[in-house]
Amino acid sequence: MFVAEKGVMVWRCESVGFFRSLPAGDVSFSGDGSLLAVTFGPTLTVWVPETNLLKCSLTEVHSKENLRYVVKVLFTSVMSEVKCYV
């Protein structure tokens, strides 16, 4: 959340999330800010940032490496489908 203080914009943490006791990695917001993709080890998670609701998760079970980057989060206008590129 951005808050104006004395004409300066600052950021303030509103909430903290966890997933399976794994450390959080890279993050990326969808273009309109309605979704937040976060890597946790080999898992990509997609969240609704306003409510901290977990929409879905996708785990790479055959790789021994953790996910490093979230490039883009795409979704349909109906929000029934989420596509993630990592």
Q: Which domain holds residue 74?
A: 19-85
State how many domains the chain has: 1
Q: Which residues contact 72 (CB under 8 A, 6 or more apart)?
A: 28, 84, 85
- The candidate with the shortest Cα–Cα distance to 86, out of 52, 46, 53, is 46
In a domain, 73, yes or no: yes
In a domain, 6, yes or no: no
Asked whether the whole model's pTM tops 0.75, one would answer no
Q: Give pLDDT tens digits for 6-58.
A: 777 777 777 888 899 988 998 888 888 888 889 998 898 989 988 999 998 88
- Within 20-81, strands assigned E span 24-29, 36-40, 43-48, 53-59, 72-75
